Structure 1
Amino acid sequence: MKKLLAMALLSVVVLTQAYSENKQSSKEKEMKLTEEHYTFELSDKVTREKVTFKNRYGITLTGDLYLPKNRAEEPLPALAISGPYGAVKEQASGLYANQFAQRGFAVVAFDPSFTGESGGEPRNVASPDINTEDFSAAIDFLGIQSFVDREKVGIMGICGFGGMGLNAAAVDKRVKAIAVASMYDMSRVTARGYFDSMTTEQRSQMLEQLGIQRWKDAEKEEPAYGVAGLPEPDQLTGNEPEFVQGYVNYYKTERGFHPRSINSNGSWTATNALSFMNMPLLTYISEISPRPVLIIAGENAHSRYFSEDAYKAANEPKELMIIPGAVHTDLYDKTDIIPFDKLESFFKENLK
């Protein structure tokens, strides 16, 4: 129980990453990174182009459009990709898009509203509603391109944007298939803590603190940002939960660091948790059916239970794929572990 309570409290830490001002950090200088940095190498079989499009709220989203270089004349099947939560398109979502484009898909990997290069003020805010809408906006964009078959459009969601992607697929019938990897239900983990271990009293205390913070923000006429966050790699003791070590080893090292990534180099607003604590995602996951769902999780991922519960809640056709020995962050970028052949066959079989 003590371990679970500690993880519940840690969920707040993970959701309010360390505040850093909009200056070049020592880590950026050390790695000699620019904001044009990508954490993976673009395939010589793929083209990448920056694109913009608006969501239903008028927020301009920025994405990268990946296309196969040698493509036939007929329109392509297409995918909208985002995630992980707190990441940017130059990280895992771009890596996935690069892989899918090699396999014949038109893919847009995008920064969600209020983050990365996408618009929206204040910065670094997440929303179960607006981020669900972001996926549908990406579907809007893909469906009006001459090189896309709008009847063959799907979603790939990673981590917290796996939950948002499932939510979007439930409401957006244009989505013909959806796959998620290392899925998080951000509403559930925010409102209940990891493994639903947050007590009613803890939830009440957290909401009281968030209410007080709103008054502070109102007085200053600007939002405050989180003050607790991931340690630097050299600060790890080895006693942290595996997933904290995994996040540090991805977001805080050359493997996955990006200047615009909230998890690498920024923070969520201090009141970011509010809407997630009051508006559950995945309420209508069963209504994705009869469109197929593929849920992928690591055998040893701390987040595996989110995937298993989403699988139980979804109706057929559905598939849960457990990757032996994998942890949560392995499915961010380890191309020898991520089942891209399975993902390719899943979408090609179902986007028709």
Structure 2
Amino acid sequence: MEEKLNLVEEWDKTFPQSDKVNHRKITFHNRYGITLAADLYEPKKAESKLPAIAVCGPFGAVKEQSSGLYAQTMAERGFLTIAFDPSFTGESGGSPRYVASPDINTEDFQAAVDFLSVQDNVDPEKIGIIGICGWGGMALNAAAIDTRIKATVASTMYDMTRVNAKGYFDAEDSENAQYEKRKALNVQRTADYRSGEYARAGGVVDPLPEDAPFFVKDYYDYYKTSRGYHKRSLNSNDGWNVTSSLPFLNMPILQYSSEIYSAVLIVHGEKAHSCYFGKDAFAKLTGDNKELMIIPGAVHTDLYDKVDVIPFDKLQTFFTENLK
């Protein structure tokens, strides 16, 4: 059921390899028949079946960046983890390339749970997920539909449907603005079909304008410098297909988040431009097993890779308490 992927075997991450865990490349498939590539990390000393965590994000990143760091660190803390590339990106399969989908990308998380559920060294009743940036919203969407997910962390999350439809800080929240956006994207569809290729939106702007907003400078500092650049990362290079925005305009991913019964932890930086996504998503959650953690002074990308800012102790406690 899986296509053969050409996976890089050497260590090509943006973070150093840990000597506390075992690492290997794996593949799994989703229900659309797309084969996904992932890095699997597991504690070197494991005497019984392990709780497991699937990690993905940020939106436009690859598993060699932030998600891999989260996965490796949580493996050091006793969990079997995988960090995967979403469909159509990185080392994962799927054609055309560089397209996002609120449905398929939610399914990618569920496919990761499929894979973890059948591993001999994983307890299928103890599976959680971590979504970073745009995949924080996808993680909540997956938790709303997949009852096998017992605990979810959304870190520095975006609601990708909201930001695509309404713009940053809802500045484009008008019928006319949204119509003009749909019109432009459908004109692009025609142009793409005529040319036989998909126009790319461009990744993080480079060179960086002096008057760029702070959050753009924040992204540049991660994706375009040695800190976080990766050759397969969309944000580090030519970005998504322009028309990837289309399905997010009328397919809200958090429609049923109020019906998530399992535990949820939303983590956001106090100074992050995106913090309103996390706060508003948390406000929709119900039950007494939901928590919002605001990191004082942190900006959006601090929670990508700054190990002294990412609350890994809290993440360990959260998953330990809820995967039991």
Task: Note whether the superposition's TM-score is higher than 0.5.
Answer: yes
Correspondences of 1:71-220 after superposition (within 5 Å): 71-72=46-47, 74-198=48-172, 199-220=174-195
Give 1:216 deviation, angstroms.
Answer: 1.4
Query: Which residue number in structure 2 is paired with residue 320 of structure 1?
Result: 292
What is the root-mean-square deviation of aligned Cα atoms in Å? Answer: 1.3
Secondary structure, in 3 states, of the residue corresponding to 2:235?
Answer: helix
User: 1:264 pairs with 212, 223, 236, which one?
Assistant: 236
Contact 1:64/1:108 (8 A) holds in 2: yes
Give 1:70 deviation, angstroms.
Answer: 1.3
Query: Which residue number in structure 2 is paired with residue 254 of structure 1?
Result: 226
Report the residue type matching 2:133 in the other structure.
C
Matched, 1:42 2:17: yes
Give 1:36 deviation, angstroms.
Answer: 5.0
Give 1:278 deviation, angstroms.
Answer: 1.2
1:179-219 Cα offsets, whole Å, 9 max, x none, are 11100000000000011110322211111111111111222
Report the residue type matching 2:190 in the other structure.
W
Aligned residues: 314
Report the residue type matching 1:179 in the other structure.
V
Give 1:229 deviation, angstroms.
Answer: 4.6
Could you state the TM-score of these two structures normalised by the residue count of structure 1? 0.87
1:208-254 Cα offsets, whole Å, 9 max, x none, are 1111111112222332222x55333x6341x3211101100000000
Report the residue type matching 2:208 in the other structure.
Q
Separation in structure 1 between the aligned mates of residue 296 and residue 10 of structure 2, nearest angstrom: 35
Separation in structure 2 between the aligned mates of residue 151 and residue 332 of structure 1, nearest angstrom: 28
1:50-70 Cα offsets, whole Å, 9 max, x none, are 000000100000000000111
Report the residue type matching 2:72 in the other structure.
N
Give 1:37 deviation, angstroms.
Answer: 1.8
Contact 1:35/1:260 (8 A) holds in 2: no
Contact 2:159/2:277 (8 A) holds in 1: yes
Secondary structure, in 3 states, of the residue corresponding to 1:50?
Answer: strand
Separation in structure 2 between the aligned mates of residue 229 and residue 112 of structure 1, nearest angstrom: 17
Query: Which residue number in structure 1 is paired with residue 302 of structure 2?
Result: 330
Contact 1:301/1:328 (8 A) holds in 2: yes
Give 1:351 deviation, angstroms.
Answer: 0.4
1:276-330 Cα offsets, whole Å, 9 max, x none, are 11100111101112x1110000000000000001110011221000000000000
Matched, 1:57 2:32: yes
Separation in structure 1 between the aligned mates of residue 61 and residue 305 of structure 2, nearest angstrom: 12
Separation in structure 2 between the aligned mates of residue 263 and residue 223 of structure 1, nearest angstrom: 17
Report the residue type matching 1:351 in the other structure.
L
1:101-120 Cα offsets, whole Å, 9 max, x none, are 00000001000000000001
Query: Which residue number in structure 2 is paired with residue 235 of structure 1?
Result: 208
**Which has the higher mean CA deviation after the structures are superposed, 204-213 or 319-328?**
204-213
Unaligned stretches of 5+ in structure 2? 1-8
Secondary structure, in 3 states, of the residue corresponding to 1:231?
Answer: coil
Separation in structure 1 between the aligned mates of residue 316 and residue 11 of structure 2, nearest angstrom: 28
- The percent identity for this pair of structures is 59
Separation in structure 1 between the aligned mates of residue 208 and residue 49 of structure 2, nearest angstrom: 50
Report the residue type matching 1:347 in the other structure.
F
User: 1:339 pairs with 304, 311, 317, which one?
Assistant: 311
Query: Which residue number in structure 2 is paired with residue 309 of structure 1?
Result: 280
Cα gap change, 1:229 to 1:38, in 2 (>3 Å): closer
The 4+ residue runs of structure 1 with deviation greater than 6 A are none
Query: Which residue number in structure 1 is paired with residue 263 of structure 2?
Result: 292
Secondary structure, in 3 states, of the residue corresponding to 2:244?
Answer: coil
Contact 1:35/1:258 (8 A) holds in 2: no
Contact 2:208/2:220 (8 A) holds in 1: no
Separation in structure 2 between the aligned mates of residue 191 and residue 35 of structure 1, nearest angstrom: 40
Unaligned stretches of 5+ in structure 1? 1-33
Separation in structure 1 between the aligned mates of residue 26 and residue 209 of structure 2, nearest angstrom: 38
Separation in structure 1 between the aligned mates of residue 208 and residue 31 of structure 2, nearest angstrom: 43
Separation in structure 2 between the aligned mates of residue 219 and residue 151 of structure 1, nearest angstrom: 49
Separation in structure 2 between the aligned mates of residue 212 and residue 236 of structure 1, nearest angstrom: 28
Report the residue type matching 1:80 in the other structure.
A
Separation in structure 2 between the aligned mates of residue 202 and residue 48 of structure 1, nearest angstrom: 47
